[in-house]
Amino acid sequence: MDNKKGRRYEAVKWMMVFAIGVCTGLVGLFVDFFVRLFTQLKFGVVQASVEECSQKGCLALSLLELLGFNLTFVFFASLLVLIEPVAAGSGIPEIKCYLNGVKVPGIVRLRTLLCKVFGVLFSVAGGLFVGKEGPMIHSGAVVGAGLPQFQSLSLRKIQFNFPYFRSDRDKRDFVSAGAAAGVAAAFGAPIGGTLFSLEEGSSFWNQGLTWKVLFCSMSATFTLNFFRSGIQFGSWGSFQLPGLLNFGEFKCSDSDKKCHLWTAMDLGFFVVMGVVGGLLGATFNCLNKRLAKYRMRNVHPKPKLVRVLESLLVSLVTTVVVFVASMVLGECRQMSSASQVGNDSFALQEYVTFSSTFPRKSRLSEVTSDEVNSSIKTFFCPNETYNDMATLFFNSQESGILQLFHQDSTFSPITLALFFVLYFVLACWTYGISVPSGLFVPSLLCGAAFGRLVANVLKSYIGLGHIYSGTFALIGAAAFLGGVVRMSISLTVILIESTSEITYGLPIMVTLMVAKWTGDFFNKGIYDIHVGLRGVPLLEWETEVEMDKLRASDIMEPNLTYVYPHTRIQSLVSILRTTVHHAFPVVTENRGNEKEFMKGNQLISNNIKYKKCSILTRAGEQRRRSQSMKSYPSSELRNVCDEHVTSEDPGEKEDLLQQMLERRYTPYPNLYPDQSPSEDWTMEERFRPLTFHGLILRSQLVTLLVRGVCYSESQSSASQPRLSYAEMAEDYPRYPDIHDLDLTLLNPRMIVDVTPYMNPAPFTVSPNTHVSQVFNLFRTMGLRHLPVVNAVGEIVGVITRHNLTREFLQARLRQHYQTL
């Protein structure tokens, strides 16, 4: 394209990332609205039942009503996962794989988005210990993948002629922007969302993509903020609720002069909490991995109804534990003066409409304070006291987090310890069942209980009166979440943006680093564990230092399946139907008696002519240089050139060049190019010298066959029809399958010239290239295939993603040591 088209393309790209951000924000608004609606409906009915049964002694009936709501919601969530299985879980492992370069089937389809969005509504409203923030990242990625395409398999009848973004690279960039927008909408953290895409996903990144992803994240944040602020406060355009999850404003009480948010002495406690958080996270990941393996062996092979029954069982146990713990295990604690809100134990109003206008931060502080006070539960407790266990369990998880961060009243250490253990076990059991589920909020709530417990111990038993309990709850949440997911840069910024308190930057960063290092000593992060269980070849950021003992020749695949520049249709069909490779090297053979082979065979003649044309390119370039040197003013140079040109005949130069490229030993046995590679070939036939000319994709070969791009042996290759780029990319992203095509109308003896459609200059490496260099080139350039070409232009192998996985490299390193 020319510069004008390039500018138009860039402008359309900016408009698309803005649209992706707006749509992702609207998806978040939809999820948030209906989760609150379903939760209020459920607790509104149970409220009346508990108030009545607490007097009549029929609390079992209240439990049955709560079970009815929760089991119904979870049943619907499980049914949606049966419709689209990839909608289960948070979707973050799958999006990590996609951004890393692995195409997971169905992960960015419209049907997946619908099942994910509606499924997370029911799973969160059903009382499971899951969050809606993780699925928001997946939802944003699906929006990013589908919106620029203007088409969907689920809506086949709706077709738009939109000629832009018909490549995997563009699609991957939009998925990066969508995932970042999902993080921004979930936490009100646009910068954190951008860093999340950079840290956890994309292998290819540049400055232009950074700006677009940040713009998309900002669009999502402010779209959600605009509508939520308008709906909740009635003051449109005030921008007061930045994300689905907000931690509120951290500040000490005006009456407590000794209180500080944190001091330098507290950093030592934060480091210890980071170590403990890393250990707890490693334990969580280990238990969840064992549960996942058990499900893969004993649940997934059975009928799909078993998965639904498992989800219902988890919901049943969770509901019973929450109800019984709230009624039996809680302690009555004294309310603070600001928290005396009467005896209404089911005050579910989470936001209050203000008639006056406050600045953003003071308004947010007022909203947070009112939500904390209104969500206090007074189950079976006298006036001016509240039930601390019910306050944590019988609220939404977001309200529970705010209670632990901002409640001035105390929580019993026994209550916090029991709550942590119960929540830890149930959250670990829940993550992995067949419902859409996130892990961020459960981890934050579990860690906040741990941090609040530490603050209580330090205050009550050690006598450190300056401690602010909210800070320790925040650090505990960061420590546990960091120990589970093992993110560092993006998670630090997300938590800072969620607190709106930059002074927390250092303690959060230190805690997350220590938690990550501690957890990495035992196992991987939870998302990497689930990626490994799926067998996806995920590439890390870099290889281990020891791997540089290997070269490209040690890890490449030498057994090649290839095509010739001019190949018969029967050979192409045979290759495509008997292999699963997505790209094939285009090669010609090195023959010793080429002139004899060229006689009487148009196909072989065309291939040999193409090879000679390609080989003589350097000689032709030298001749052009010589011609240009003749016009140089220096007579001495001109004389040298004249002598050089007259002393050698072009035919002799061609023979000399051909001799330089020939092997010193006898060439391998030659096969006709119209024969496809066979398993019956001998070792010499399989590994004979092949001159490399380029790469052609499976999708390109299938498109050529579908459109009948070929010529007969009696014709010149110039008679072959030519396809434009738009015609080649018309079926993107779902090209036809070779097994579904009816090729009976094509003459199998016809010849296809693939040279106009192949990539003649792909990235290549030498057989002696260090593995670290191969890895960096492969990952940073977003490659799928990396040919290994020797010094004389012969392809000796191909490196794919599988050859660069950690397990494969370690196996080859062991073989290397054994051969020493």
Short-list 100, 75, 699, 200, CA closest to 486: 200
Q: In Å, what is the CA distance from 369 to each residue of 37, 139, 287, 463?
A: 22, 31, 37, 27
| pLDDT over 70 at 462, yes or no | yes
Closest by Cα among 771, 787, 618 to 696: 787
pTM over 0.85: no
Task: Please indicate, yes or no, whether residues 504 and 587 belong to a single structural domain of this protein.
Answer: no
* Contact predicate 344/352, CB 8 Å: no
Q: Which residue has the higher pLDDT, 416 or 634?
A: 416
Sign, CA dihedral 395-396-402-404, equals: positive
pLDDT in tens, 205-240: 677 788 999 999 999 998 988 888 888 777 776 777
CA dihedral 311, 314, 319, 324 (to 10 degrees): 170
Q: Which residues share a beta bridge with 425?
A: none
Tell me how crowded residue 485 is: count the other CB atoms within 10 A of its CB. 26
* 171 domain-assigned: yes
- Tell me whether residue 406 is exposed, middle or buried, using C-beta atoms within 10 angstroms of its C-beta: 0 to 12, 13 to 18, 19 or more: buried
Beta-bridge mates of residue 759 = 695
Average pLDDT over residues 646-673: 39
Q: What is the pLDDT of residue 349?
A: 37
Report how far residue 211's alpha carbon sits from residue 232's, in angstroms, rounded to the nearest whole number: 31
Average per-residue pLDDT for the chain? 79
Where are the strands (E) in 542-624, listed by range? 566-568, 583-589
Please indicate, yes or no, whether residues 328 and 439 belong to a single structural domain of this protein. Answer: yes
Residue type, 6: G
344 pLDDT exceeds 80?
A: no
Query: How many domains does the chain fold into?
Result: 3
Tokens of 492: 């630090």
Residue 29 in contact with residue 355, Cβ under 8 Å?
no
- Cα distance between residue 662 and residue 665, in whole Å: 9
The least confident of 50-54, 267-271, 459-463, 482-486 is 50-54
Element (H, E) at 387: strand 385-387
213: containing domain: 12-231
Residue 184 has pLDDT above 80, yes or no: yes
Query: Percent of the chain beyond pLDDT 70?
Result: 79
Q: What's the residue count for the chain?
A: 820
In a domain, 302, yes or no: yes
Q: What is the full DSSP assignment across 13-74?
A: HHHHHHHHHHHHHHHHHHHHHHHHHHHHHHHHHHHHHHHHHHHHT-HHHHHHHHHHHHHHHH
Q: How many angstroms separate the CA atoms of 46 and 65, rounded?
A: 7
**505 and 574 assigned to the same domain:** no
Contact in structure between 762 and 785 (CB atoms under 8 Å):
yes
At 383, which amino acid appears? N
What band does 517 get if pLDDT is binned at 50, 70 and 90? very high
Q: Are residues 277 and 162 in the same domain?
A: no
Q: Are residues 772 and 696 in the same domain?
A: yes
CATH number at residue 213: 1.10.3080.10
The CA–CA distances, whole Å, from 314 to 321, 433, 800 equal: 11, 9, 41
Q: Is residue 323 domain-shared with residue 425, that is, in the same domain?
A: yes
pLDDT of residue 625: 52
Domain's final residue, options 508, 534, 560: 534
Distance (Å, rounded) from C-alpha 508 to C-alpha 495?
A: 8
pLDDT over threshold 70, residue 662: no
Tell me, yes or no, whether 590 and 476 share the same domain.
Answer: no
Query: 619 or 784: which carries more pLDDT confidence?
Result: 784
Q: In terms of domains, do 529 and 561 share one?
A: no
State how far the Cα of 147 lies from the Cα of 559, in Å rounded to an integer. 40
According to DSSP, the β-strands at 385-387 and 566-568 are unpaired
Q: What is the structure's pLDDT at 303?
A: 84
Cβ contact 327:377 at 8 Å:
no
If one counts every other C-beta atom within 10 angstroms of the C-beta of residue 106, the result is: 13
Q: What is the CATH number of the domain that holds 687?
A: 3.10.580.10
The answer to whether residue 544 scores a pLDDT higher than 80 is: yes
- Do both 495 and 473 map to the same domain? yes
Predicted local confidence at residue 236, as pLDDT: 73
For residue 294, name the pLDDT band (cuts at 50, 70, 90).
Answer: very high
Residue 201: pLDDT over 90: no
CB 240 within 8 A of CB 352: no
Phi/psi region, residue 95 (left: phi>0; alpha: psi -120 to 50; beta: rest), is alpha
Query: What's 321-345 look like in SS3?
Result: HHHHHHHHHCCEEECCHHHCCCCCC
- Which helix (H) or strand (E) segment holds residue 270: the answer is helix 266-298
Distance from C-alpha of 377 to C-alpha of 387, rounded to nearest angstrom: 6
* pLDDT band with cut points at 50, 70 and 90 for residue 157: low
Q: What are φ and ψ of residue 695, in 5° steps?
A: -125, 140
Statement: residue 652 has pLDDT above 60: no
Identify the residue with better confidence: 200 or 450: 450
pLDDT reading at 348 higher than 50: no
641 or 625: which leads in pLDDT: 625
Q: What angle do CA 805, 806, 810 make, to 5 degrees?
A: 120
Residue 815 lies in a domain: yes
- 738-749 mean pLDDT: 78
Helix (H, G, I), strand (E, B) or coil at 127: coil
Nearest to 555 by CA among 370, 326, 772: 772
Helices (H) and strands (E) counted in the chain, each on its own, are: 31, 8
Q: Out of 9-13, 389-393, 542-546, 772-776, which region has the weakest mean confidence (pLDDT)?
A: 389-393
pLDDT at 510: 92
Beta-bridge mates of residue 730: none
Amino acid identity for residue 313 in this structure: L
Q: Which amino acid is at 733?
A: P
Residue 762: pLDDT band with limits 50, 70, 90 = very high
Please say if the pLDDT value at position 663 is more than 50.
no
Of 253-262, 435-444, 553-562, 563-572, least confident by mean pLDDT is: 253-262
In angstroms, the CA 174 to CA 168 distance is 10
526-533 and 92-100 helices, crossing angle to 10°: 70
**763: closest CA among 694, 689, 696, 690?**
694
In a domain, 251, yes or no: no
Domain match, 769 and 696 both:
yes
Mean pLDDT is highest, among 112-126, 458-472, 626-640, for 112-126
In whole angstroms, give the CA distance from residue 559 to residue 286.
Answer: 39
User: Which pLDDT does position 759 carry in this prediction?
Assistant: 92
Q: What is the average pLDDT across 718-726?
A: 83
Cα 41 to its chain centre, rounded Å, is: 35
User: For the ranges 153-162, 246-255, 472-481, 773-782, which has the lowest average pLDDT?
Assistant: 153-162
Domain boundary among 207, 231, 255: 231
Contact (CB, 8 A) for 181 and 225: no
Say if 806 falls within a structural domain: yes
Q: 253 falls in which pLDDT band (50, 70, 90)?
A: low
Mean pLDDT of all residues in 103-118: 87
Mean pLDDT of 413-436: 91
Residues 6+ apart with CB under 8 A from 715: none
pLDDT level of residue 95 (50, 70, 90 thresholds)? confident
Residue 782, classified by CB atoms within 10 Å of its CB into exposed (0-12), middle (13-18) or buried (19+), is middle
Which amino acid belongs to residue 253?
A: S
Does residue 526 belong to any structural domain of this protein? yes
Q: Which residues in 732-819 belong to E strands, given as ranges?
A: 751-753, 785-789, 795-800
Helix (H) or strand (E) holding 385: strand 385-387
| Last residue of one domain, picked from the residues 534, 560, 588 | 534
Same domain, 527 and 552: no
Indicate if 570 and 443 belong to the same structural domain.
no
| Dist. CA 141–CA 100, nearest whole Å | 13
pLDDT of residue 22: 93
Name the least confident of 272-276, 349-353, 468-472, 555-559: 349-353
Strand spans (E) along 676-768: 690-697, 751-753
List, for residues 202-212, the tens digit of each pLDDT value: 566 677 788 99
Torsion sign (Cα): 606, 607, 609, 613: positive
**Hey, is 789 helix, strand or coil?**
strand
Q: Which helix (H) or strand (E) is 386 found in, with range? A: strand 385-387
Question: Taking Cα atoms as reference points, which of 26, 31, 36, 96 lies closest to residue 525?
Answer: 96
**Distance between CA 180 and CA 198 in Å, rounded?**
9
Contact 441, 247 (CB under 8 A): no
3-state helix, strand, coil in the chain (%, to 5): 60, 5, 35
Q: Which residue has the higher pLDDT, 160 or 54?
A: 54
Radius of gyration over every alpha carbon of the chain, rounded to an integer in angstroms: 33
31 vs 650, which has greater pLDDT? Answer: 31
Tell me how far apart the alpha carbons of residues 262 and 282 are, in angstroms, rounded to a whole number.
27
Residue 271 has pLDDT above 70, yes or no: yes
Name the percent of the chain lying above pLDDT 90. 24
User: Is residue 125 a part of any domain in this protein?
Assistant: yes
Reference 778, options 770, 308, 674; nearest CA is 770
Q: Between 357 and 100, name the one with better pLDDT.
A: 100
pLDDT at 691: 87
Q: What is the pLDDT of residues 274-289, one digit of tens each?
A: 999 999 999 999 999 9
555-591 confidence digits (pLDDT tens)? 998 888 889 888 888 888 888 888 888 899 999 876 6
Instruction: Let me know if residue 362 belongs to a domain.
Output: no
Q: What pLDDT sits at residue 292?
A: 92
Distance CA 604, CA 590 (A): 12
User: Of 49-63, 258-272, 494-508, 800-814, where does mean pLDDT reach its minimum?
Assistant: 49-63
